[in-house]
Amino acid sequence: MKKCRITVMKMARYDDLIEKYENPIAHACDMQPGRIFIANGWQKPEGLCDSAWESMSALG
């Protein structure tokens, strides 16, 4: 399995948009810029944001 390093470059969170959802998410995203994750193949690294991982998986 190929290892891949993922660095959080930017975290975008739009509270105005979150408020418009019927069921607002308390923790939309906990990523902090500068955080580094190591992905082992297509296994999501522990603690990595689900939507970020989904977006990256779609690119592969």
Q: Which residues bind Zn ion (CB under 5 A)?
A: 29, 31, 49, 52
Nearer to Zn ion, 39 or 49 (CB): 49
**Which residues are CB-neighbours of 26 under 8 A, at least 6 positions away?**
none
Nearer to Zn ion, 1 or 50 (CB): 50
Q: At its nearest, how many Å lie between Zn ion and the CB of residue 29?
A: 3
Q: At its nearest, how many Å lie between Zn ion and the CB of residue 1?
A: 24
**Dist CA 25 CA 5 (whole Å):** 28
6 - beta bridge partners? 37
